[in-house]
Structure 1
Amino acid sequence: MTTRRSVLKGTLSLMLAATAMTTLAPLGAVAKAPQIKSQAPGYYRIMLGDFEITALSDGTVKFPVESFYVGPKDEIAALLNKAFLESPVELSINAFLVNTNDRLVLIDSGSGGFFGPTLGKLVPNLVAAGYQPEQIDDVILTHAHVDHLGGLVAGEKIVFPNATVHLNQRDADFWLSSANRDAAPEAKKDFFSMAVQALAPYRDAGRLKTFADGTEPVPGFKTILRAGHTPGHSAVAIESKGQKLVFWGDITHGDVVQFDEPDVTIGFDEDPAAAASARDAAFAEAVKEGYLVAGAHTRFPGIGHVGTDSDNFDWVPLNYSATL
């Protein structure tokens, strides 16, 4: 039978219990958690037929728009503003690992230690993705700029000890030439020196191999010459079970300006007119055939399709999936 006395007794017990819990609780229990201020490992996987594709982030780097893009400044600023971007624009540097079940093939190698603390994250992200540098069989370079080959070395040490490095003959002839370096503007000389520094250990070990235009440096990896950005700039196409993916290197820098204005070039293009022409051809083919594209400087993970819109072309990122 419930009585007034029993209710008061029960209430008093609850109050004493609550007081005890409050007294015994750790003093820090009500403190706010500190901010972590770090990102998750930068890798993302998809399947292309029987092939496993892993996008690997080397990090991001900021470029001032006014000195990076070459074109109508007002139009470029308006396009960036429309996309809620402003100078300096933060660009991704991406590389891609293809597991064919028979071989592990890396497309580009990131910038290594050449460009500062926000970059050079490819190897840690490769390891986080479940692979080790010594497992890589081949590295196919889309071209010989330092943000694509710098990750081949750590200082003078080879990073991928069992890999063969493949580079278009045109780029090898151009970037490894001391005469070309001597003739280059002072601001560009370091690009030649860094290419030599990254490639020489592999060359000395007999594991730098060049390929001709339109050939397969690794069986099933067909190259497509898209010269202009560099003399031997090449896309790499793979197919499995009727699905196609093209790694197109530096056809674009970012996924805003050059899709609407393909004629806008960048200061690092060796032949700006040829680079713009190569971009038009790459866009048109990607739209016509509808294949997937992987870009070295589109927002990570950098995989998607090229579409069209009222302005010109359009970048359509791949829909995120938590499963394979």
Structure 2
Amino acid sequence: MSMNRRNFLFAAAATPALATAPKPVLASSPAKNSFQGTYRFTVGDATVTALLDGYLDAAPQMIPGFDEATILPALEKAQQKLYPGGVRIPVNAFLVEHNGQRILIDAGTSSFLGDTLGDLNKALAAINVSADTIDVIALTHIHPDHSGGLIDANGQAVFANAQIAVGQTEYSFWHDDGIMASVPESSRGFFQIARNTVAPYADRMIMHSGEQDVLPGLTSLPLPGHTPGHAGYLLQSAQEQLLFWGDLVHMTALQFDNPNLTIAFDTDAKQTVATRLGMFDRAVADNLLVTGAHLDFPGLGKVRKAADGYAYQPAPWQYGA
């Protein structure tokens, strides 16, 4: 298993504080509002709640080949703009209530990435769900904006009764001392954060590989590229489906029109693009309802073919769900 050294160097250069500071920041942003975002909807017999952990700004130097002449019109088309810190993207997690279980897809950031993030627990509180009632946390991968919320300021487990589901490839990658030693020192903080966030759950891990039934109605789906073991989860209930595709897309306004656009934290840019294109085609062919950690909140919609590639069609609001 190998690491794309160039991308790790790029990511480290863009955000050197990630490896050294206790509260690393991706890009400077104004203080956040007190809004806690939740949106509840149904998929067959399952109830799903989108939970907004906050937002971050992807600075231009984090987007290889950033071209303002192309980026600005694309953002404007999506009724968005380029902020002083860069392209603004949300960080979402999802609560699935199905078959008598509460399953969290990803766990937010806690305090790892600055003060515009870390609202997952507030969002859960807004729907009267306490951390100790979560049964399983299914991680798409072990980056800090997905696993940071697993631990508190003392490194202890936030979810006292939860098991952690994660891909075997993903877990092994971040726990491989040889790979960690081979990357620049400024990038090793990612490995330590990954190890620290899952460590309190070491005796309650559900490891999966390939397309595997992780739980009844929830199947893992390998989506490598962003990280070596990056995975999605396909929820199936009463003939309906929803794909949680993790970080397949970071920038809703940009990466459907231009699926070749990557971000510095994609460990293998070429594989990331190949995986994205393959999943776009599958989502179109199967008419899949999809959601993701960085799709514009609440991040629920479908992929459509367009004359110049692909388009994202937000799903209509489910009233009274």
Partner of 2:61: 67
In the alignment, structure 1 residue 207 sits paired with structure 2 residue 204? yes
In the alignment, structure 1 residue 217 sits paired with structure 2 residue 211? no
Partner of 1:195: 194
Q: Residues 104-156 of structure 1, C-alpha deviation per residue, up to 9 Å, x if partnerless?
A: 11110011111111111101111111211000000110111111111100121
TM-score (norm 2): 0.85
Residue pair 1:225, 1:234 contacting (<8 A) in 2 also:
yes
Residue pair 1:243, 1:291 contacting (<8 A) in 2 also:
no
Partner of 2:226: 229
RMSD: 1.5
SS at match of 1:227: coil
For 1:180, the aligned partner's letter is I
Q: What is the CA–CA distance in structure 2 between the aligned matches of 1:200 and 1:171, rounded to whole Å?
A: 14
SS at match of 1:260: coil
Q: What is the CA–CA distance in structure 2 between the aligned matches of 1:150 and 1:38, rounded to whole Å?
A: 21
* Greater CA drift, 244-253 or 174-183: 174-183
Q: What is the CA–CA distance in structure 2 between the aligned matches of 1:182 and 1:78, rounded to whole Å?
A: 42
- Give 1:72 shift: 5.4
Q: In structure 1, which of residues 291, 296, 304 is the aligned counterpart of residue 293 of structure 2? A: 296
Q: What is the CA–CA distance in structure 2 between the aligned matches of 1:230 and 1:104, rounded to whole Å?
A: 26
- Give 1:41 shift: 2.4
Q: Residues 220-262 of structure 1, C-alpha deviation per residue, up to 9 Å, x if partnerless?
A: 2111111011111111001111111000000000211110111
Partner of 1:46: 41
SS at match of 2:91: strand
SS at match of 1:256: helix
Q: Which runs of 5+ in 1 are unaligned?
A: 1-36
SS at match of 1:278: helix
Q: What is the CA–CA distance in structure 2 between the aligned matches of 1:139 and 1:114, rounded to whole Å?
A: 18
Question: Where in structure 2 are the equivalents of 1:105-144 lying within 5 Å?
Answer: 105-144=103-142
For 1:85, the aligned partner's letter is K
Q: Residues 187-234 of structure 1, C-alpha deviation per residue, up to 9 Å, x if partnerless?
A: 32111111011011111xx11232111112222211111101111111
Q: Residues 256-288 of structure 1, C-alpha deviation per residue, up to 9 Å, x if partnerless?
A: 111011111111111111000000011111111
Q: Residues 71-99 of structure 1, C-alpha deviation per residue, up to 9 Å, x if partnerless?
A: 35243343224333214111100011100
Partner of 1:264: 261
Q: Which runs of 5+ in 2 are unaligned?
A: 1-31
Question: Where in structure 2 are the equivalents of 1:26-105 lying within 5 Å?
Answer: 38-64=33-59, 66-71=60-65, 73=67, 74-83=69-78, 84-87=80-83, 88-105=86-103
The alignment of Structure 1 onto Structure 2 pairs a total of residues equal to: 285
In the alignment, structure 1 residue 173 sits paired with structure 2 residue 172? yes
- Give 1:303 shift: 0.9
- Give 1:321 shift: 3.4
SS at match of 1:298: coil
Once the two structures are aligned, what percentage of the paired residues are identical?
36
Work out which structure has the larger RCO, using CA pairs closer than 8 Å and 6 or more positions apart in sequence.
Answer: 2
* Greater CA drift, 287-296 or 84-93: 84-93
For 2:132, the aligned partner's letter is E
For 1:308, the aligned partner's letter is K
SS at match of 1:96: strand
Question: Where in structure 2 are the equivalents of 1:266-281 lying within 5 Å?
Answer: 266-281=263-278
Residue pair 2:217, 2:237 contacting (<8 A) in 1 also:
no
Residue pair 1:80, 1:257 contacting (<8 A) in 2 also:
yes
SS at match of 1:195: helix
For 2:64, the aligned partner's letter is V
Residue pair 2:93, 2:107 contacting (<8 A) in 1 also:
yes
Partner of 1:6: none
